[in-house]
Structure 1
Amino acid sequence: MDAIDKLKAKYPGANSWKMGDSPELAHELATLIVKGIKTASCGSFASYHQEEPAPRIGSYNIILDGQDVPVCVIRLVSMRLVRFCDVTEAFARKEGEGDLSLGYWRKEHQQFFTREGYFSDEMELITEEFEVVEIL
């Protein structure tokens, strides 16, 4: 039984995944979570329709680094549907990236969603807040 399987046995129903769209970004974001700087994330509403099973409040997630190594387990504590243009400075700070400003968040996430295949200032996002339950 590998490390991910052991964690899934400890946290039944947990998904394992890495954040971002490159190994470098996955490593950077996982490090921010472990340090307690990143306590939120978001994704396009369209991408959530493709996830199996869909995330839900209270669910556990095993966060992987850029080499698919588990670094921590988080628990989802909040989810909201928000348009890109309505994301707040407070949420941008909780994402924990760059200089923590809304301007930085908008620039980087516009680039991310464009790489993902679709961006609009009016696009709907699922914003998530989470807590770290175990650092590995």
Structure 2
Amino acid sequence: MTDLAVSTYWEAFKKTHPQAGDKYLAWSFGNTAEQADELLALVLAGKKTATSSLYQLYRWTNEPIPQVGDFNIILDGHQQPSCIIQTSQIDVVPYAEVSAEHATLEGEGDLSLDYWHEKHWPFFSEEAKAANFRFSERDPIVCERFVLLAR
């Protein structure tokens, strides 16, 4: 990712959304270039309107927990800006209590809660393991809904 590409993308967005200000984050979905591209494609197709993250990750990285109204530039697998989303809802719930509705809104696989668990348990477990932490069903998950604002 080049900072110039991201800031240029943001400045172009602000021309049509002057209320956006100067605060945004730039990131990609998943933990591989392939995942970033696959999940981005779901967002661009309108199938993915939610995501989830391990609450503890924000503590470990000293990053702020997403807030309603946040702007995010979503990067593709090559770390190039591809779209802008805005957070519309945040719920923090234990992993075991993530809802079937949320799983469907994530837009992945067969849209079921079973599929969500099948993919997210290893993902969150690996993130936790990297921080010398053991992931459990009681650990909080940040369930974030968003709207696609620009491509």
Which band: TM-score by shorter chain?
over 0.9
**Equivalent residues in 2 for 1:71-110, closer than 5 Å:** 71-110=82-121
Q: Percent identity?
A: 36
Q: CA deviation at 1:131?
A: 0.1
Q: TM-score, normalised by structure 1?
A: 0.92
Partner of 1:3: 5
Partner of 1:58: 69
Are 2:41 and 1:31 aligned? yes
Q: Number of matched residues?
A: 135
Q: CA deviation at 1:47?
A: 1.0
Letter in 2 for 1:106: H
- Distance in 2 between the 1:106 and 1:53 partners? 25
Look at both structures and tell me which one has the larger radius of gyration over its CA atoms. Answer: 2
Partner of 2:139: 123
Higher mean displacement: 41-50 or 90-99 = 41-50
2:31 to 21, 25, 34: 21
Letter in 1 for 2:6: I
Partner of 2:17: none
Letter in 2 for 1:83: P
Describe the superposition over 1:24-74 as per-residue Cα deviations: whole angstroms up to 9, x where unpaired.
101111111111100000111111222534421101000001100111000
The answer for unaligned runs of 5 or more in structure 1 is none
- Distance in 1 between the 2:150 and 2:25 partners? 15
Describe the superposition over 1:71-124 as per-residue Cα deviations: whole angstroms up to 9, x where unpaired.
100000100111110111111000001110100000100010122124211111
